[in-house]
Structure 1
Amino acid sequence: MPRNKEFDYTEKLESARNLFWEKGYHATSMHDIVDAMKLNRSSIYDTYGNKHDLFLKCLSNYADFKEEQYSQALQAKNKGISALENIIRDVVEQTITDNKACLTVKTIFEIVPEDQEVRQFLLKSGKSLHAILEKAIVQAQQNGDLKSESSSPIIARYILSSFSSFWSHYNLTQNKKEVMEMVDFLIEQIKK
């Protein structure tokens, strides 16, 4: 008769996620994973699969977290430009508070060029974040808060791609004031 699992699936998954987030996929060994999750190898393989499967599950867990973050920021200020500004500021604040790049951004640079499965997963999960931003953009355009004639998909892509630039600048300078000035500039530009 099989034993019941005596650990919290999500808690252990988040331990692995944080390890991948800190060290990167390639630098993380199975030994590191065993230590971080405090599980034996067979439990990890039986429950989460191999390292790659585990990583995909971690990415999925992170994607759910980011979607929830964007949704909550949108709902906190559910009026067009206010909602859009809230999402942007919330994401940047969280990145600076965590003092680490978005796991998605880190993965794009480290793994996507060589791993089509991860690439496809990130493209799919990015669509939900893009849709949340688009919703706020469309509402802001309808309210007359955004004067730009650019389409909402282009503006949403621009915002999403700006997040990695903000982190890059902060990582180099450790200057939150400058990053927040860049955020203000981004918001000014999309309002035009």
Structure 2
Amino acid sequence: MARNREFNEQEAIKRAMDVFWKKGYNGASMRDLTDAMQINSSSLYNSIGDKHKLFVKCIQNYTEERMKEAKAHASQAKTPLKAIVNFIQDSVNTILYSNNSCLAIKTTFEVAANDSAIQAILKSDADKTHSLLAELIIKAREQKEIDSEEDPETIADFIMNAFTGWYESYILYQNPVKIKKMAKYLITRISQ
């Protein structure tokens, strides 16, 4: 007869994700993770696997949840341009006011260059985000909210790359006014 799991795996993954957010992949020890998850190391190895497999699950979970939220939020906007503006403002709020900021960007800088599994998850997430933005930009062009001469792919690339720069800028300078000004400039450029 199979043993029942002694913990809620989804809840444990969320707790582990908090550790990775705070300490990064390299800074998080197995002890940090198992303490946060409130399980012993044998339970972790038997149910999820090693630290890397846990990290992959955390990043996968994070990117899937973030995309669900982004799509839901975009579908509630009154116009495509408003959905884009909300997306930009949500990113600013995450950078400035979230305790954990963006785990995908943090992971890209720390791990993705040397980890093909993580790189694949983050690339898929970036592709989905790019597609969502490009679709909204196309709809905004159709509704004459954005200049029809503008290339949706380039605008989507520009928006996504701005987020990474803002994240870096905020880490280095801790200047919310600077981030808000850059966001305002980006929104103005898109909606001209």
* TM-superposed deviation, 1:13: 0.2
Name the residue aligned to 2:62.
Answer: 62
What is the match of residue 28 of structure 1? 28
Confirm whether residue 6 of structure 1 aligns to residue 26 of structure 2.
Answer: no
Q: Which deviations, in whole Å up to 9, do the C-alpha atoms of 1:123-145 show, x marking residues without a partner?
A: 11222111211121111111111
Structure 2 distance, partners of 1:134, 1:126, is: 12
- Shift of the 134–126 alpha-carbon distance from structure 1 to 2, 3 Å rule, reads same
**Residue 175 of structure 2 corresponds to residue 172 of structure 1:** no
Superposed displacement of residue 170, structure 1: 2.4
Q: Does structure 1 retain, via aligned residues, the 8 Å contact 2:95–2:170?
A: no
TM-score using structure 1 length = 0.92
The amino acid across from 2:110 in the alignment is E
Do the aligned residues in 2 keep the contact of 1:146 with 1:191 (CA within 8 Å)?
Answer: yes
State the 1:175 CA deviation: 2.8
- Distance in 1 (alpha carbons) for counterparts of 2:174 and 2:166: 11
| Equivalent residues in 2 for 1:1-192, closer than 5 Å | 1-147=1-147, 149-192=149-192
Q: 2:58 & 2:117 partners in 1: Cα distance? A: 14
**Equivalent residue letter for 2:10:** T
What is the Cα deviation at residue 168 of structure 1? 2.2
Is 1:148–1:191's contact at 8 Å kept on the other side of the alignment? no
**What is the CA deviation profile of residues 93-149 of structure 1, one whole-angstrom value per residue up to 9, with x for unaligned ones?**
123221443111111111111111211121112221112111211111111111263
- Secondary structure at the residue paired with 1:179? helix
Structure 2: 5+ residue stretches without partners: none
Using the TM superposition, give the Cα deviation of residue 67 of structure 1 relative to its aligned residue in structure 2, in angstroms.
0.3
Distance 1:80 1:87 in 2: 11
| Range with bigger deviation, 33-42 or 125-134 | 125-134
RMSD: 1.6
In structure 2, give the amino acid aligned to 1:81.
L
Please give the alpha-carbon distance, in whole angstroms, between the structure 1 residues aligned to 2:171 and 2:114: 25
Percent sequence identity over aligned pairs? 33
Alpha-carbon distance in 2 for matches of 1:180, 1:68: 25
4+ residue runs over 4 A deviation: none
CA distance in 2, matches of 1:70, 1:78: 15
Equivalenced residues, count = 192
Q: Deviations over 1:24-69 (max 9, x none)?
A: 1111111111111110111111111111111110001100121022
Bigger drift between 142-151 and 40-49 goes to 142-151
User: Aligned partners of 1:53 and 1:156: how far apart in 2?
Assistant: 31
Tell me how far apart the structure 2 counterparts of residues 136 and 157 of structure 1 sit (CA, whole Å). Answer: 13
AA partner of residue 154 (structure 2): I
